[in-house]
Structure 1
Amino acid sequence: MELSISDEKTKELLTEVMIDLLKTKRDILYDVVLEALEEVGLANAIAEGRKDEFVSEAEVFSILDNGAK
């Protein structure tokens, strides 16, 4: 005996599952989306930072040392 399901029924069932997940696991979905957005933001910041000139390690530590005083 072979079980078959139509594309329309499959779509309907998947939609129902997604809606249920959105309702019951909202906090998990929120965390996943937030983390993805943070990763995109970090990637964009890295890409933009690479357009500018690099700063030497000594200069960075000099600034940090002066800020700590």
Structure 2
Amino acid sequence: MNNMTELNFDEERIKQLFKSALIEVIQEQKEVFSDLLAEIIEDIALEKAIKEGEDTESVSRDAIFKILGNKG
């Protein structure tokens, strides 16, 4: 094997080892990754809601409380 072939093999082997290790960590820490993913999704949704809200007209505090069922 020449050096280039060895290098490509080593890179491919490193990628496979990294993938295996990452999958193992995710499987062992499902709850942590699930919480992290949920937090990321919430952040994306909040960012989208804020951007959408910037393009809508303002609503009074009283109107919001009426919608919520509180008079006040």
Please, which runs of 5 or more residues in structure 1 have no aligned partner?
none
Determine the C-alpha separation between the residues in 2 that align with 1:13 and 1:35. Answer: 28
How many residue pairs match? The answer is 62
Partner residue, 2:28: 24
Task: Please give the secondary structure, in 1, of the residue aligned with 2:16.
Answer: helix
Q: Which residue of 1 aligns with 2:16?
A: 12
Show CA shifts across 1:7-65 (max 9, x none).
0111011011111012100100000000000000000111111111123xxx31x3438
What is the one-letter code of the residue matched to 1:13? L
Structure 2: stretches of 5+ with no match in the other structure: 1-6
Following superposition, which runs of at least 4 residues in structure 1 exceed 6 angstroms of deviation?
none
TM-score of the superposed pair, with normalisation by structure 2: 0.71
Matched residue, 1:46: 50
Identity, in percent, stands at 23
RMSD of aligned alpha carbons: 2.4
